[in-house]
Amino acid sequence: MNLPVVKRDKPIRKILALRMFHKSYFWNILILVLTFFLIFFILFTAVSPERYELKVGDIAPEPIPAPRDVEDELATQAKRQEAMEKVPEYYTLHQNITAGTIAEIEEIFEKMDEARSKVEERLRQWEEEQKQGQGGESPMPSYAPQEEPYRPTPDPAEFYDEKFMGELKSLFTIQLSNDNIMTILNADKQDLNLLKSHLVDTMQAMLEVGIKEEQLAESKASLGNALQSTTLPNELKLLGTSIGVTTLKPNLLYDYIRTNQEKQKAADQVEKVIYKKGQYIVEAGQPVTEAQIKMLAELGLLKDNRMDVPLITGIAMAVFICLGLISLYMAYYEKELIEKPLMLLLISMILCLTLGLTYVTTLLNRYLIPTAMAGMLLAILVRPRIAIVINMVLAVLIGFMTGMQLYTVVMTFTGGLTGILMVKSRHQRNSLIWAGVGVAAVCVITLVSIDMVSSGGWQSPVQSSFYGLMSGLLSSILTIGTLPIWENIFGIITPIRLVELSNPNQPLLKRLLMETPGTYHHSIIVGNLAESAADAIGANGLLARVGAYYHDIGKLVRPYYFKENQLYNQNPHDKLNPVLSKKIIISHVKDGLELAKKYKLPAMIQDFIAQHHGTTVVAYFYHKAKNNNIDMDLDEFRYPGPKPTSKETALVMLADTAEAAVRAMADHSSEKIGEQIRKLIREKFADGQLDNADLTMRDLELTAEAFTNVISGIFHERVEYPDINSFDERTKTVNDIANGQQAVIPKQ
């Protein structure tokens, strides 16, 4: 079903003609904002409770129930805090810290070997320097034994100067003293390996158990004691203690995330202290406490001139989300609606009207709501897809209005969906009554099923079923009653209106039949062609057919100037100048538009009248003018247009051309008809007549096939019957009987 076209001559359209505001996005935003505030006002009015003037210590004159479930936050928070305090702290043993610490110790001992090597290298260099200074011979004191080589010893203060000690210290990742360095250099290699083994084993054992931050000092003392108990020299014990104390780190760390998660889990498991909807917050005759005042204020039940911020925020967010979902759906799947602000205004008005009527009817009875009104109207006036989306949103909004009760949400959704599906393919206004009956039946079943589950009895379901029945019928009555209003205000042509326009008793069609039977017959065939092609390409077949019925009504003004209405082959154009004939032929478009306005045909049908010839050339009279040596430009023989702007008007143009051309053919075989139709379509395409019609090449091929099938059926080859003289045949039969011959007398 295609989007309805709005009449261009309505007052609302004239308002849109204001130059400074004639932008669709401006009107879209304005409509969206107004819709938001209107729906917000309806919902806020529906859910706002009665307010009281109370303070701490006042005696409540009457019990005050909770209009909705409300939490006693103070009591709940106290229970949660108590549960969180019972949760123990969690620690995590980080093996990567353990491995890193051991690796760091092993690296320190590796650097010890490197430091000792550096000293050996420096000593060799010093000895070489000494040899070179003594002429290649080392000095030998007289008291030195002759059998042992003499090796000079450098002065420690000069050899281990500050610079060299700095180089040695820089090898290590930890801070070591000069004494530590000298211990490393002077210690026996085997003792160093033993120190490494003791240190690694001791720290490995301590880290595997786990060291907390607060246990670090104690662990370092234990490490020192463990090293002191070994048989190593004291200077190595001190070295090992320095290394171990420096590198030892806590690896059993406090797990903030898990602890908080466990605390939160414990808090979440605490049941809230809730005052249920309808439960008395304040008892009659009892003084009001501070906690009760706080809950009353939170519920917006106090006359303290303060806004109920949670209620207002909740309603605003709900409305914003609902309208946001509708807007997103339209932006992605209904872009045509975005470009037509009047259609958005129509949707907005129907949505707000339905919510307003729902609020009024709930004051009478909670089941008496027009659940399917919006869905049925939008399915008829716009299209079923947007009606389904609006119906889902409406179910949520009505649920908010009625305190999120399940029956209203389910009844609105199921009832509205039933109405949409039942009116989708209905083309008679009487069918809306049956749609209402279907909605009523679904509402009754929905209410009875929910009441039977909740109440567990029969009395309540029977009572609610009556109002469910009335809800469906009320939706049908409101739809039927308001449908003509929407059609007239917004200039919408619905399938029901199209069927009414296709009735042969319509004044214009009746005139067309009586005054121009040839044109009427031509229009019927064009309608069949256009409808079959529209169905083939997914366009609106009903619209194409009805538009074809009216496309040539302008011929009512001068019927005999058109070939299909001429009798006895008398053509008045034979006596006219071709220029004048051209004007008469072209004028049937303008005459048709004037008749359409006089008979109040919808704007969508007027488009077929104005566009069915586009800007094509009246070729016959152009060539006639050329043959008569009349010098005129080709464009002067073109129709004024506009070119077809929709698939349906383009199909009527092609069908009009195809029907006339095939009727003039001598050979009506399917092959010849198909060739001629494709040739005509190519010519229209090449002439640019289909530029604005949004037809694909695939659509044109399907159109040609549909035209060929329909026209071949009309101009099918008939069997040539032999001439038979009935009187001679009867006489022959009687004579045969008289002569005793057996004859078969044909049945009459």
pLDDT digits (tens, 9 = 90+) for 571-587: 787 778 778 888 888 88
Query: 302 in helix, strand or coil?
Result: strand
Q: Which residue has the tokens 């200039």?
A: 491
E strand or H helix at 92: strand 91-93
CATH number at residue 520: 1.10.3210
The reply to whether 522 and 483 lie within a common domain is no
List the one residue out of 434, 433, 466, 420 whose CA is nearest residue 447.
Answer: 466
The reply to whether 323 and 432 lie within a common domain is yes
List the one residue out of 712, 704, 682 whose CA is nearest residue 537.
Answer: 704
Among 40-44, 122-126, 179-183, 448-452, the range of highest mean pLDDT: 40-44
Alpha carbon of 19 to those of 34, 187, 628: distances in Å? 22, 99, 49
- At residue 700, the pLDDT reads 93
- Domain encompassing residue 567: 502-714
CATH number at residue 30: 1.10.1760
- Residue 458's pLDDT band, with cuts at 50, 70 and 90, is low
Rounded to 5°, angle at Cα 707 from 706 and 711? 120
Query: 449 in helix, strand or coil?
Result: helix
Q: Is 212 exposed, middle or buried (0-12, 13-18, 19+ CB in 10 A)?
A: middle
Average pLDDT value for residue range 694-698: 90
- With the C-alpha atoms ordered 47, 52, 58, 64, is the resulting torsion angle positive or negative? negative
* Least confident stretch, 45-59, 114-128, 472-486, 643-657: 45-59
The reply to whether 453 and 586 lie within a common domain is no
The reply to whether 474 and 555 lie within a common domain is no
Is residue 246 over pLDDT 70?
yes
The reply to whether 440 and 350 lie within a common domain is yes
Domain boundary among 220, 254, 288: 254
Average pLDDT value for residue range 80-107: 86
Residue 649 inside a domain? The answer is: yes
φ, ψ of residue 319 to 5 degrees: the values are -65, -40
- 193 alpha-carbon distance from chain centroid: 72
* Long-range pairs of 562-570 with CB within 8 A, sequence gap ≥ 24: 562/516, 562/518, 562/519, 562/588, 563/518, 564/516, 564/518, 564/519, 564/521, 564/522, 565/516, 565/517, 565/518, 565/519, 566/518
- Would the pTM count as exceeding 0.75? no
* Mean pLDDT, all residues of the chain: 80
Is residue 20 over pLDDT 50?
no
Per-residue pLDDT of 597-618, as tens digits, reads 999 888 889 999 999 898 888 8
Per-residue pLDDT of 501-512, as tens digits, reads 888 899 999 999
CB 298 within 8 A of CB 69: no
Joined together, the tokens standing for residue 284 give: 């009659």
* Long-range pairs of 162-166 with CB within 8 A, sequence gap ≥ 24: 164/122
The reply to whether 544 and 442 lie within a common domain is no
Task: Give the rounded percent of residues in the chain with a pLDDT score beyond 90.
Answer: 14
The reply to whether 18 and 117 lie within a common domain is no
The reply to whether 382 and 408 lie within a common domain is yes
- At residue 6, the pLDDT reads 42
Joined together, the tokens standing for residue 383 give: 């299209």
- With the C-alpha atoms ordered 266, 267, 268, 272, is the resulting torsion angle positive or negative? positive
- At residue 584, the pLDDT reads 85
Query: 715 in helix, strand or coil?
Result: coil
CB 378 within 8 A of CB 347: yes
Residue 455 inside a domain? The answer is: yes
Query: 254 in helix, strand or coil?
Result: strand
CB 481 within 8 A of CB 585: no
3-state helix, strand, coil in the chain (%, to 5): 65, 5, 30
Residue 164 inside a domain? The answer is: yes
List the one residue out of 607, 600, 592, 510 whose CA is nearest residue 557.
Answer: 592
- Residue 134's pLDDT band, with cuts at 50, 70 and 90, is low
DSSP string for residues in 561-621: GSGGG-STT--GGGGS-HHHHHHHHHHHHHHHHHHHHHTT--HHHHHHHHHSSTT-B-HHH
**How many Å is the maximal CA-CA distance in the chain?**
183
Per-residue pLDDT of 93-105, as tens digits, reads 888 888 888 888 8
Average pLDDT value for residue range 169-183: 83
Is residue 417 over pLDDT 50?
yes
Helices (H) and strands (E) in the chain, counts: 31, 6
Residue 82 inside a domain? The answer is: no
Domain boundary among 235, 254, 273: 254
CB 124 within 8 A of CB 282: no
User: How many whole angstroms separate alpha carbon 377 and alpha carbon 375?
Assistant: 6
Is residue 2 over pLDDT 70?
no
User: How many whole angstroms separate alpha carbon 342 and alpha carbon 412?
Assistant: 26
User: How many whole angstroms separate alpha carbon 386 and alpha carbon 579?
Assistant: 51
The reply to whether 196 and 97 lie within a common domain is yes
Q: Which residue has the tokens 């009478």?
A: 364
Joined together, the tokens standing for residue 620 give: 């016959």
The reply to whether 513 and 472 lie within a common domain is no
Residue 279 inside a domain? The answer is: no
More confident residue, 476 or 630: 476
Average pLDDT value for residue range 272-299: 74
Residue 407 inside a domain? The answer is: yes
Is residue 274 over pLDDT 60?
yes
Which distant-in-sequence residues (6+ apart) come within 8 Å of 19 by Cβ?
Answer: none
CB 404 within 8 A of CB 364: no
Is residue 179 over pLDDT 80?
yes
Residue 141 inside a domain? The answer is: no
Is residue 143 over pLDDT 80?
no
Query: 721 in helix, strand or coil?
Result: coil
The reply to whether 424 and 320 lie within a common domain is yes
Q: Which residue has the tokens 């290649």?
A: 136
Residue 143 inside a domain? The answer is: no
CB 556 within 8 A of CB 677: no
- Residue 7's pLDDT band, with cuts at 50, 70 and 90, is very low
Radius of gyration of the chain (CA): 50
E strand or H helix at 40: helix 24-47
Is residue 208 over pLDDT 80?
yes
Average pLDDT value for residue range 202-220: 86
Work out how many domains the chain is built from and give that number.
3
Domain boundary among 213, 237, 254: 254
The reply to whether 324 and 361 lie within a common domain is yes
Per-residue pLDDT of 345-371, as tens digits, reads 989 999 999 999 988 888 887 778 888
- At residue 68, the pLDDT reads 66
Joined together, the tokens standing for residue 664 give: 């003039």
- Residue 151's pLDDT band, with cuts at 50, 70 and 90, is low
Per-residue pLDDT of 513-556, as tens digits, reads 998 888 899 999 999 999 999 999 988 899 999 999 999 999 88
